[in-house]
Structure 1
Amino acid sequence: MPIATDDPTPGCATRVDARPAVLCGLLGVAAALAVGDLVAGVLSPASSPVLAVGGQFIRLTPEWLKALAIATFGVYDKLALLLGMAVVLVLVAAAAGLGSRRSAAPGALVVVLLGLVAVASATAAPAFSPVDLLAPLAALVAGLAVWLGLHRLAMRRAAAAATVGGSGASSHDGPGRDDGGDDAPSVTEQPTVHRKGPVGTLGATRRRFLLGVVGAAAGAAAAAAVGRWLAVTGGADASRAAVGALPDVPGPLADLAGADFAAQGTPTWLTPTNAFYRIDTALQVPQLTTRDYALRIHGLVDRQLRLSYDDLRSRRLVEAPITMTCVSNEVGGALISNAVFLGVPLTDLLAEVGVRPEAQQIASTSVDGFTTGTPIAAVTDGRAAMLAVAMNGEPLPVEHGFPVRMVVPGLYGFVSGCKWLTDMELTTFDEFTSYWQQRGWAAQAPVKTQSRIDVPRSGGSVLAGRTTLAGVAWAQHTGVARVEVRADGGAWQDAELARDVSIDTWRMWRTDVDLSPGAHRLQVRATDRGGDTQVATPSLTIPDGATGWHTVDVTAI
């Protein structure tokens, strides 16, 4: 009598079905990422395999592709990158599973390669430390263990299914009777012994595989959840909440009446903090606390200086409204916002350390290794350049640089807006090349005079006849003196300007034009207080900001 084994060993011809194979691949990669996130959350959030690889991808991406991503996705560029990475990982994991239906080796190789990519990416990070290797290494080990374990269970399940499908077992076991019938000698029947046959074995292996899948999925989900929780509760939010009341500094804004034409469609003069644009290279917001914060000022100075958060807060603070603009903002784009910042004047700090005559720029470094280079001349000419600790009456939001960031009116953020600032070195342009300058952007980048039509929107329809146009213009640290609009290439006409609050902030405008039924092309241009009108010739954002007149096409009906 053939006896079926309770736990069949897979043979060389065993082939895992497609769905279980894909599940093995997906859960192997998911377990790797989850364990990596968990270890990173405990030790170093930035070392998460996903963030390490994503950060390296950002660093290696060609500038034209970065510009396209920002132009396409705007402030959602990081979300788009993470979703894209997720799609790629799912496809790779599924392919690894399908390629391993007869052997675990191909999938194991994929897991190892992904792990090595994460290790290499963590090593290449600007703020790398040896502890950052632990998360990707733990991810590699966990992913490999889950992959091999699930694949073995899937192979056993496949072997049991093959046994059932090829079984030709007799309808009865044990001794029978001779074909001679009644003349055959009688045989005493033995008790039937029930053994686990092929069908029972198949059920057992299926249950084991299902339990393995459920266990791996639950473990990965739990590890990922705890890892994410640790990463976003590193103390920064609690530290920000504990800052307490801000110093009572005489504010520059007594009355904002007439500062915008929001009723006609312009933005409000003061951008709500939660609507302030955010463009940076951090896939995960750095988690700095005021307790751990320290700033070092050194380089071409007479005296080095180390400051804690409390040291900065105890100094003379100033408050100023400042419009910030991203150099990636295309003509007519939305990557511009306006807020009131509170901080320590940079001129005070530079006077204290004693800047040497040969110094030309401030090389600023973020806690995550990002760098900017700010011309010293632009922070010592009387403008409200500062190390900001508050924004719109509250401590800096974590995503906007808490505890401390640099803000310099009139310069694009990539040369002046270092967030999560921890180091300032006074140096020369020859001795230091900042993050974006290494990638082809300019060393000095004053904000260019620009204007934008907010209503009507391009591609929209308006009622024929008298139509209101409204928008915003900016010429930071020079001031907007004039805004003009025209329809269909005709004569320029002056627009009404809102109250000018500061030369370091944007200025709203509005006007009425007569439009006959049909298609029309509307354009706007601004002139600064120095008499310079914004450049008409279109140019790309790289290396130092876009130029051109904002143009919208509408249909009057």
Structure 2
Amino acid sequence: MKPVKAALTGLLAIVAALAAGHLVAAFVGLSASPYLAVGNAAIDLTPSWLKDFAVTAFGTYDKAVLLTGMALVLAGIGVAAGLASRNSATPGSVVAVVLGLVGIAAVLTRPDVGQLALLAPIASIAAGLWVFRRLHRQTEEDGSRRDFLVTAGLAVAAGVAGQLLGNRTDVEGSRRAIGDLTPKTKAPEIPVGADFVKDGTPSFITSGDDFYRIDTALSVPRIRAEEWALRVHGMVERPMVLTFEEIRSRDLVEETITLTCVSNEVGGPYISNANFVGIRIGDVLREAGVKAGADQLFSTSDDGFTAGSPLDHVLERGLIAIGMNGQPLPAEHGFPARLVVPGLYGYVSATKWVTDLNVTTFAKEQGYWIPRGWAARAPIKTMSRIDRPRRMGKVQGRTVVAGTAWAQPKGVAKVEVRADGGPWQEAQLGADVSDSTWRMWRIEMDLRPGSHTVECRATDKTGYTQDQARLDPVPDGATGWHSVTFTVE
């Protein structure tokens, strides 16, 4: 067999296997797709330092990078298997079976699929073996280029069909049918001067499109509000199940809340602010009757992600949110419902696509990230960053330094800025909207032409000033003063 045809045989067998598995997964749960299941398993097994590196290096594109890397590795395996099978189909057949078994093992680890999910990796094994042996036999018999083109076309069609069928759940139709969400208690109007957009800060309210997204989901769960329900159980007197309409029919409240990711490096972008609409978790849990001794609310997502929140904090401040900025939650931000708890980093509080609330203890349950080296309790640290001037940027004339500070739920009392290690100067703060939101700041500085480095630090309303020492995000959030070096012309 010629090397080129041998390589194409192995490559097309890999493509066919993945496409068949993806197509079957469309009917038994998209997470059962061997490609996605292996990717999710890789995320689950990734050590904290590597996950932190991926978020730092690739940001919200980390999942795309993972899937692309997997595709390239699998393509290489397919080519190598084909080349190793020039004289016999056995090596390639063994590779197909081994990869299929890896897919089966990955699917078995998924908590969000049923027993029928195994049909997807089984279909992958069957398709991969059949295509490989068929093309191998035809190539030995001097098969035509048409055989390869037909096989490639069918494989691509199967993969596309699987993706389309897997996304057939009409989530956007469900969102549109909800209509307006009118809270009984509205958030206060955002006052003029809450941000300094002209000076380079973000707008005070973050749009759904711009709101940061960091989670473990390779494929966004697609759930219709009409089919969703939230189970409340565990250490409660009266377990309950709430449907979307039951939540919507309660007294909805709207609160302006800033969410922060623990992966945020000093000066990082993973913080956003929105008006969330929902019901108070405390009201639901008091209705259920929390038993003595409980200290954790253990939440589970539709895709199996789990998070543990300090119960006392959740009882006081948490929301079961169904809306964001006046609209039902976007699918990628948790539709139909998510948790929003000001003052805690998202990995212990902001479960999206939430379906289960278990009142328990920290001794009994651990959330997804805790065995991976992150802290069980993660209050947000007092922090600030410089949004403008940009790093290595150029400024003409009088210098305006502007940025953002946060200290949920304590609130920001002041921000100070200094240039080139000189005296601290107090910045002008934006309007104080809520202790659970970020606060913008600006300051004008008279700097000579040349290179300068400015630093910032925030003080919260308890009198605590953020730490100067630089610490990595693991295990409970980064610390350090943010600095930017730029040139005044």
Deviations 1:485-516 (A, max 9, x none): 11111100011111111111101001111222
Secondary structure of residue in 2 paired with 1:312: helix
Correspondence for 1:543 among 456, 461, 475: 475
Deviations 1:342-367 (A, max 9, x none): 00111110110001121101011111
| Contact persistence 2:276–2:323 (CA under 8 A) | yes
Which residues of 2 match residues 123-522 of structure 1 at below 5 A? Answer: 123-157=108-142, 205=143, 209-381=144-316, 383=317, 385-463=318-396, 465-522=397-454
Letter in 1 for 2:450: G
| Contact persistence 2:262–2:478 (CA under 8 A) | yes
Determine the C-alpha separation between the residues in 2 that align with 1:213 and 1:39: 23
Deviations 1:328-382 (A, max 9, x none): 000100000001000011111011000112110101111111100011111233x
Deviations 1:8-49 (A, max 9, x none): xxxxxxxx1111111111110001111111100122111011
Secondary structure of residue in 1 paired with 2:36: helix
Determine the C-alpha separation between the residues in 2 that align with 1:298 and 1:42: 30
Deviations 1:259-307 (A, max 9, x none): 1000111000001110100000000011111122111111111111111
Ranges in structure 1 where 5+ consecutive residues have no aligned partner = 1-15, 158-204
Secondary structure of residue in 2 paired with 1:531: coil
| Contact persistence 2:31–2:112 (CA under 8 A) | no
Determine the C-alpha separation between the residues in 2 that align with 1:430 and 1:139: 41
Deviations 1:92-127 (A, max 9, x none): 111111111111111111111111111000001233
Which residues of 2 match residues 520-539 of structure 1 at below 5 A? Answer: 520-539=452-471
Letter in 1 for 2:194: A
Letter in 1 for 2:321: A
Letter in 2 for 1:476: Q
Correspondence for 1:120 among 84, 100, 105: 105
Ranges in structure 2 where 5+ consecutive residues have no aligned partner = none
Q: CA deviation at 1:131?
A: 1.2
Secondary structure of residue in 1 paired with 2:282: helix
Q: CA deviation at 1:218?
A: 1.1
Letter in 2 for 1:306: V
Secondary structure of residue in 2 paired with 1:552: strand
Aligned length: 489
Determine the C-alpha separation between the residues in 1 that align with 2:169 and 2:25: 11
Q: CA deviation at 1:310?
A: 1.1
TM-score normalised to structure 2 length: 0.98
* Map of 1:95 onto structure 2: 80
TM-score normalised to structure 1 length: 0.86
| Contact persistence 2:183–2:253 (CA under 8 A) | no
Secondary structure of residue in 2 paired with 1:72: helix
Secondary structure of residue in 1 paired with 2:96: helix
Which residues of 2 match residues 44-59 of structure 1 at below 5 A? Answer: 44-59=29-44
Secondary structure of residue in 2 paired with 1:347: helix
Determine the C-alpha separation between the residues in 1 that align with 2:169 and 2:120: 17
* Map of 1:175 onto structure 2: none
Letter in 1 for 2:248: R
Percent identity, please: 51
| Contact persistence 2:28–2:113 (CA under 8 A) | no
| Contact persistence 2:29–2:113 (CA under 8 A) | no
Q: CA deviation at 1:248?
A: 4.6
* Map of 1:75 onto structure 2: 60
Secondary structure of residue in 2 paired with 1:291: helix
* Map of 1:179 onto structure 2: none
Secondary structure of residue in 2 paired with 1:458: coil
Determine the C-alpha separation between the residues in 1 that align with 2:183 and 2:372: 42
Q: Who wins on radius of gyration, i.e. which is larger?
A: 1
Determine the C-alpha separation between the residues in 2 that align with 1:137 and 1:523: 57
